[in-house]
Amino acid sequence: MNFSTVNSERLMQARRVVLKIGSALFVDQELGVLRHQWLESLCADIVDMRETGKEIIIVSSGAIALGARQLGIDPSHVRLEDSQASAAVGQIQLAHAYQEVLGAHGISAAQILLTLDDSENRRRYLNASNTLLTLLQNDAVPVVNENDTVATQEIRYGDNDRLAARVAQMVSADCLILLSDIDGLYTADPSIDNNSNHITEVTELSDEHWEMAGGPRSSHASGGMRTKIDAARIAMGAGCRMLITSGRVERPIQALRNGARGTWFLPSSNPQTSRKQWIAGTLKPRGIITVDDGAKAALAAGRSLLPAGVTSVAGEFGRGEAVRVTDQSGSELGRGLIAYTSDEAQVIMGLRSEAIENILGYRGRDELIHRNDLTLIGHGSS
């Protein structure tokens, strides 16, 4: 396989890329300090990618490793409360570092701290993904990490591999790159087994891949290969390509174009199709929104559903839940994730979006169902 050609083509096709930076790359393992020069080199890669029209989201680890060092805590033996305290100290440094290196290129860095709940709970999922999308529209680079200061054992990812895959799913990214201390998946752990072979491509995950992944290796990363395979499962399910590659070199993205190897995980569908299938097929609809003919035509033309076009609201639902959308004759037009609760939808239906604030007392979203959150029947694969 010619890695240079394959990597270049796949990178060229990507429009929205999530880059996950492992702790071992961000923090010098011996000195416990930030690897500034490497970060600047990564930033040069990010500038390059943005110049070719790509949107970039960073998911960066390193808060705990940095903070633990500053507080004098041994990063390999931290208790939960130690990691919470370490993250509080380290996250400031992490955010500041990105602000500085991206700012030097005139790019706004935006800090987003997520908990497991933000990706599992529908309402919070919708909020987090809307914020991320708004940041991208405004040309900023979101820098995401887990909110380790408030996350407790039961409600925490604990690793940024899966978090990055969830973020990729949230924003319908088409490419997730896990920059790691290893250049991909091997048939066995290469640090133990000299006969292990590098895997270049996975199109379907199987038990075999989980076996290959073994257990965690690096003392700095909570991840190891298992969480990367789990991330691949999430990303592939969301129609997002994923690459595990080494970030040990400077300009790791440029290195990929020049032929550095990695393991590509290639899903059979794309993010748009997967998301629409998820909305249309997986989620249980909690209510029915009936729309007038004007709204029906607007939806068919690819627009969002505004409260003005709604004539009735049935069922009980919370924000971010799935609902059916039907026309005046009761035929289903499609399904979508609704931005208001059933009580709110009842009072704002038929109203222009500008009137929402007066009625509800706060300014919510203009759309009742955003077009990105809507799947029309017959348009499932569009």
Question: Residue 39, interface with ligand GLU (CB under 6 A)?
Answer: no
Which of 75, 334 has the CB closer to ligand GLU?
75
In the bound complex, what is the minimum distance in angstroms from residue 221's beta carbon to ligand GLU? Answer: 5
Size of the site for ligand GLU (CB under 6 A): 14
Identify the CA nearest to 374 among candidates 279, 237, 270.
279
Identify whether the C-beta of residue 202 lies closer than 8 Å to the C-beta of residue 138.
no
The structure tokens 């970039």 sit at 56
Alpha-carbon Rg for the chain in angstroms: 22
Which of 185, 337 has the CB closer to ligand GLU?
185
Q: Which of 3, 18, 43, 62 binds ligand GLU (CB under 6 A)?
A: 62
Pairwise CA distance, residues 303 & 372, whole Å: 9
Identify whether the C-beta of residue 101 lies closer than 8 Å to the C-beta of residue 43.
yes
**Binding segment toward ligand GLU, per CB under 6 A, in 3-11, 55-63, 262-270, 325-333:** 55-63
Q: Which residues contact 287 (CB under 8 A, 6 or more apart)?
A: 313, 314, 315, 316, 317, 321, 323, 324, 338, 342, 345
Question: Residue 183, interface with ligand GLU (CB under 6 A)?
Answer: no
Pairwise CA distance, residues 250 & 236, whole Å: 28
Question: Residue 63, interface with ligand GLU (CB under 6 A)?
Answer: yes
**Binding segment toward ligand GLU, per CB under 6 A, in 130-138, 143-151, 286-294, 315-323:** 143-151
Question: Residue 285, interface with ligand GLU (CB under 6 A)?
Answer: no
Which of 148, 174 has the CB closer to ligand GLU?
148
Orientation of helix 160-170 relative to helix 122-137, angle to 10°: 80
Question: Residue 65, interface with ligand GLU (CB under 6 A)?
Answer: yes
Burial of 309 (0-12, 13-18, 19+ CB in 10 A): buried
In the bound complex, what is the minimum distance in angstroms from residue 287's beta carbon to ligand GLU? Answer: 37
Which of 75, 239 has the CB closer to ligand GLU?
75
Both tokens of 267, joined, read 């899903």
Question: Residue 61, interface with ligand GLU (CB under 6 A)?
Answer: yes
Question: Residue 159, interface with ligand GLU (CB under 6 A)?
Answer: yes
Site residues (CB under 6 A) for ligand GLU? 23, 61-65, 145-146, 148, 159-160, 221-223
